[in-house]
Structure 1
Amino acid sequence: MALVIAGERSGVGKTTVTLTLLASLRRRDRLVQSFKVGPDYIDPMFHRHVTGRACRNLDPVLTSEAYVQQCFTRHSQLTEYALVEGVMGLFDGVKEGAGEQGSRGAEEKNNAQCLTDFASTAHIARLLDLPVVLVIDCSRLSGSVAAIAHGYRSFDPRIKIAGVVLNRVGSDRHLSLLKDSLKPLQLPIFGVMRRQDNITIPDRHLGLVPTAELPELNALIDRLADLGDTCFDWQRLLPLLKSESLSPPTSSSLSPSFPVRIAVARDRAFNFYYQDNLDLLQQLGAELVYWSPLEDADIPKDIQGMYFGGGFPEVFAQQLAENSSVRDAVKTAILKGMPTIAECGGLMYLCEQIIDFEGKSWSMAGVLPTSAVMGGRLTLGYRCAVALQDNLLVKANTTVYGHEFHRSHLTLTPTQPLFETSRYDCEENMGCEGWGLPANIHASYVHQHWGESREIPQQFLKECLKVASSATWI
């Protein structure tokens, strides 16, 4: 068993509730595996900071329904307890069925065709047959809490609402009104969290500020653990959080066929990676060498490939620009043929410049003949992307599914783009994007979770292996 923490809408505090539960469990020396519904990178960073274990994303758009089930089963078996944090409101998802499903099976597509809450928290709860705890923001209601709880419990009878957590409760009198209203529903109250003025996580233009930038985070987690020790009904919660078993997961069937070293940029500027992608590279034989374009004086030695994930290069643009030796080394390596993946923030780093929110220009690696300009417009959503040419990761006409989330745009578009993209849920054409020239790069705003698509990392590592077999390099 495990629990899904869901919100009745965005902003009700489900991340705070989740972190409070995780912090209190870890204080009790409980081994807990966390999961996050959807494509988000930042919430899983907080989970990992608390639990010491990589949080796993459960996203059937980026992967598949089968992969979500396999991923949950594989990782939850390793721990005593398991907890899934939802996304947005409980039933907020996308419409499934637009376009072809690529690697997804036809039967799976047909089964999902009628879903309008595909990839929602409710969808994941149904897939995994898990009970849901509904977090309700009570700051501006009293008796109406019963209507909200009743509506969510009755809306889809396949969803098992095990109980509620009442968040942002103002006073004892307020709590009494809430309890009296909920009593006829006989719905358990698993927790009561009062308004907390001293527990806040700062945010900025793409969500919460990542963990690496919060020096006071450990003190915050300690306050959450203190809160969790007193605000939850642990006698009821612990049995629901208990994992099914502690049996070891089945060993990977992947053959480690690619003994190469991949430099993975990982610091405050580049930290958006799906752990499953990194695991796949390692299972296939790659050695991952983590390094910092912010702090290091050079790229790692004896590498055969580079991977730049997303993140916030615009926030650290001045420091990246000042590290000219690394920028020059990256450019030299790529122009000499180093296979390189650059997603979103990584793409921005390969541009000639980043122009920040204040209009200041900062020199970047200069591989791509374009600049990334920060702006107020948010580009957000799932993408269906069809490869327009053979490239570093996929063959022409291959369909992949990804996610965009950025506030920058490029001053020039590529003459030979990687993808033609469309919205996942309505087939609206979004135009062409992505840079594949020189041919050894894959630079795109579209974030991919490879899931079961082993062909993608295999193709990348094949190109890296060619570098490894070369007589000389750099």
Structure 2
Amino acid sequence: MGLIIAGERSGVGKTTITLALLSFLARQRERVQSFKVGPDYIDPMFHREITRRPCRNLDPVLTSPEYVQTCYSRHSRGMDAVVVEGVMGLFDGVPLQENTAYASTAHIAKLLHLPVVLVIDCSRLSGSVAAIVQGYATLDPAVTLAGVVLNRVGSDRHLTLLQNALESRSIPILGVFYRNPAISLPDRHLGLIPTDELSPLHPFFDQLADLAQTSFNWEKLTPLLSPSSVEQGTKNPPPITKNQKPTTNPRIAVAKDQAFNFYYQDNLDLLQDYGAELVFWSPLTDTTLPPNTHGLYLGGGFPEIFAEALEANETARSSLYHAIQDGLPTYGECGGLMYLCNALVDLNGDSWNMVGSLPTTTQMQKRLTLGYRHATVKEPSPVVQVGQRFWGHEFHHSTLTQPPQIPLYSLTSYRPDSPQYAEGWTLNNVHASYLHLHWGGIPTLPQQFVATCGQFASSN
């Protein structure tokens, strides 16, 4: 069921093509489920805005190949159309398990037995497009290249040159999109600007749907989206088993606003599966935590963009500080870690007061810290136990002025010569780290967090 939209490299317009496809399918009132390959948070926000269904991340590093198959099968069931957006170039992955393309779009296509539609940036191409298509079609015989989308075509004459070059190939052209600066999306230091910060997007999505209607070859594309085309190849492992829910169902406050919006839907689902009641609140606009809060989940996002407003909401910061001092189980991830510090210093050198639960300051910097990290737990927290090992992902433009005296993790990357380094805070029932985690492959973590919150609820 479904297809994968891949790029021949990053920056070819893969996301715009995917959004155009989703916009047209959603306009037909079809049940559309989308997925995103890799750890990205922002592209799935756009998917969800269009389909009105949570986009699911498919990342075998953060989870496992088996979880990717389970997740895809579970959420594709009963859909009219399924679209997977790839990551970077088709074969760009990480060198794990003797596979240089591990976690790449090609890897996911093989795991799920899905056909690939390759997006090509044709702005500086004519006859050479044939060599590109030939190479991508034959590099890995296990990857099925169903067709190509020619993007950023300059003119009808340019299109004729591209069509002539591809005429001798057996790969069909499934779409042609002409160069159009009006359909670009704004971005900044961590990628696209999240949907919550943009003006109403529906006119833009309507424009994309109109474009998709005339730009795709629907006669050839539609069969690839239908459930019968590849369903027989998709594995359907049993769902993840759940332990007995706690006798006390704790209320976990989840920070959700323009400053904090990096959450994997699967993480939120798992918390609920294990018995938690989720209550969403805003550190930007709410003055206190929700009543009867037994735990706090501070996800990633852009506190550096909204530092002035976060400082200005002094009552929220005070409420949170005193709740943490009273032992409220707290999980802070990347942006959440930054908010829990004493202060945040932005790129202009301006300092903004934050919650003050961690004795350190966040300093923004131009250098990007990026990549998968293998974590070994060194100290217990409300979420982890000593000795646990799992993969996470770092993606931030900041550092801490004071490292933790007793670090939560020992981290290393997938590179063989990568040095280990200490990271993460655990004190006063707080778990705070730059490391983004997808709990799908490590369900003991949300289970432990819910149990810790349940204990707090029982004692208060």
- Between 1:202-211 and 1:218-227, the stretch displaced more is 218-227
Among 367, 374, 386, the alignment partner of 1:377 is 367
Query: CA–CA distance in 1 between the matches of 2:209 and 2:324?
Result: 46
Query: CA–CA distance in 2 between the matches of 1:271 and 1:25?
Result: 26
Among 141, 144, 155, the alignment partner of 2:139 is 155
Does residue 1:117 correspond to 2:107, yes or no?
Answer: no
**1:231-279 Cα shifts (integer Å, max 9, x gaps):** 001111111011357xx99777423325110000000000000000000
Query: CA–CA distance in 2 between the matches of 1:124 and 1:275?
Result: 19
Query: CA–CA distance in 2 between the matches of 1:203 and 1:281?
Result: 31
Where does residue 415 of structure 1 map in the other structure?
405
Map 1:18-57 to 2 at 5 A.
Answer: 18-57=18-57
Contact kept, 8 Å, 1:422 with 1:430, in 2: the verdict is yes
Query: CA–CA distance in 1 between the matches of 2:262 and 2:152?
Result: 31
Query: CA–CA distance in 1 between the matches of 2:64 and 2:94?
Result: 14
Where does residue 307 of structure 2 map in the other structure?
317
Contact kept, 8 Å, 2:70 with 2:238, in 1: the verdict is no
Structure 1 residue identity aligned to 2:440: G
Query: CA–CA distance in 2 between the matches of 1:354 and 1:201?
Result: 28
Query: CA–CA distance in 2 between the matches of 1:211 and 1:365?
Result: 26
RMSD: 1.5
Where does residue 296 of structure 1 map in the other structure?
286
Contact kept, 8 Å, 2:63 with 2:439, in 1: the verdict is yes
Structure 1 residue identity aligned to 2:321: K
Where does residue 66 of structure 2 map in the other structure?
66
Map 1:78-117 to 2 at 5 A.
Answer: 78-96=78-96, 113-117=97-101
SS at match of 1:307: strand
Structure 2 residue identity aligned to 1:17: I
SS at match of 1:117: strand
Q: Tell me the CA shift for residue 427 of structure 1.
A: 5.3
Contact kept, 8 Å, 1:89 with 1:121, in 2: the verdict is yes
Where does residue 269 of structure 2 map in the other structure?
279
Contact kept, 8 Å, 2:329 with 2:452, in 1: the verdict is yes
Query: CA–CA distance in 2 between the matches of 1:452 and 1:409?
Result: 28
Structure 1 unmatched ranges of 5 or more: 97-112
Where does residue 202 of structure 2 map in the other structure?
218
SS at match of 2:99: coil
Contact kept, 8 Å, 1:5 with 1:18, in 2: the verdict is yes
Contact kept, 8 Å, 2:8 with 2:119, in 1: the verdict is yes
Q: Tell me the CA shift for residue 146 of structure 1.
A: 0.4
Where does residue 453 of structure 2 map in the other structure?
464
TM normalised by structure 1 equals: 0.93
Map 1:232-243 to 2 at 5 A.
Answer: 232-243=216-227
Where does residue 447 of structure 1 map in the other structure?
436
- C-alpha spacing 1:314/1:193, structure 2 compared with 1 (3 Å): same
- C-alpha spacing 1:430/1:200, structure 2 compared with 1 (3 Å): farther
Contact kept, 8 Å, 2:70 with 2:239, in 1: the verdict is no
TM normalised by structure 2 equals: 0.96
Contact kept, 8 Å, 1:75 with 1:249, in 2: the verdict is no
**1:384-433 Cα shifts (integer Å, max 9, x gaps):** 01011222212112112100000000000000000010002435124100
Structure 2 residue identity aligned to 1:385: A
Contact kept, 8 Å, 2:36 with 2:86, in 1: the verdict is yes
SS at match of 1:67: helix
Q: Tell me the CA shift for residue 378 of structure 1.
A: 0.1
Contact kept, 8 Å, 2:254 with 2:281, in 1: the verdict is yes
Query: CA–CA distance in 2 between the matches of 1:426 and 1:378?
Result: 21
Query: CA–CA distance in 2 between the matches of 1:17 and 1:416?
Result: 47
**1:195-247 Cα shifts (integer Å, max 9, x gaps):** 112112100000000000111422111110110111001111111011357xx
SS at match of 2:297: strand
Contact kept, 8 Å, 1:270 with 1:345, in 2: the verdict is yes
- Between 1:170-179 and 1:250-259, the stretch displaced more is 250-259
Identity over the aligned pairs, expressed in percent? 57
Map 1:158-307 to 2 at 5 A.
Answer: 158-244=142-228, 253-254=241-242, 255-257=244-246, 259-307=249-297
Contact kept, 8 Å, 1:77 with 1:249, in 2: the verdict is no
SS at match of 1:421: strand
**1:102-139 Cα shifts (integer Å, max 9, x gaps):** xxxxxxxxxxx221100000000011111100000000
Structure 2 unmatched ranges of 5 or more: none
Deviation above 6 Å: which 4+ runs of structure 1?
248-252
- Between 1:77-86 and 1:405-414, the stretch displaced more is 77-86
Structure 2 residue identity aligned to 1:116: T
SS at match of 2:332: strand
SS at match of 1:116: strand
Structure 2 residue identity aligned to 1:380: L
**1:153-189 Cα shifts (integer Å, max 9, x gaps):** 0111111000000000010000000000000002100
Structure 1 residue identity aligned to 2:160: S
Query: CA–CA distance in 1 between the matches of 2:56 and 2:78?
Result: 13
Map 1:122-141 to 2 at 5 A.
Answer: 122-141=106-125
Among 126, 147, 152, the alignment partner of 1:142 is 126
SS at match of 1:357: coil
- C-alpha spacing 1:426/1:251, structure 2 compared with 1 (3 Å): closer
Does residue 1:340 correspond to 2:330, yes or no?
Answer: yes
Contact kept, 8 Å, 1:304 with 1:467, in 2: the verdict is yes
SS at match of 2:408: strand
Contact kept, 8 Å, 1:37 with 1:58, in 2: the verdict is yes
Query: CA–CA distance in 1 between the matches of 2:420 and 2:262?
Result: 23
Structure 2 residue identity aligned to 1:392: P
Query: CA–CA distance in 2 between the matches of 1:369 and 1:39?
Result: 29
**1:4-43 Cα shifts (integer Å, max 9, x gaps):** 0000000000000000000000111111100000000000
Structure 2 residue identity aligned to 1:446: L
- C-alpha spacing 1:381/1:236, structure 2 compared with 1 (3 Å): same
Query: CA–CA distance in 2 between the matches of 1:203 and 1:17?
Result: 17
Query: CA–CA distance in 2 between the matches of 1:388 and 1:42?
Result: 31
**1:354-381 Cα shifts (integer Å, max 9, x gaps):** 1111110000000001010111000000
- C-alpha spacing 1:71/1:157, structure 2 compared with 1 (3 Å): same
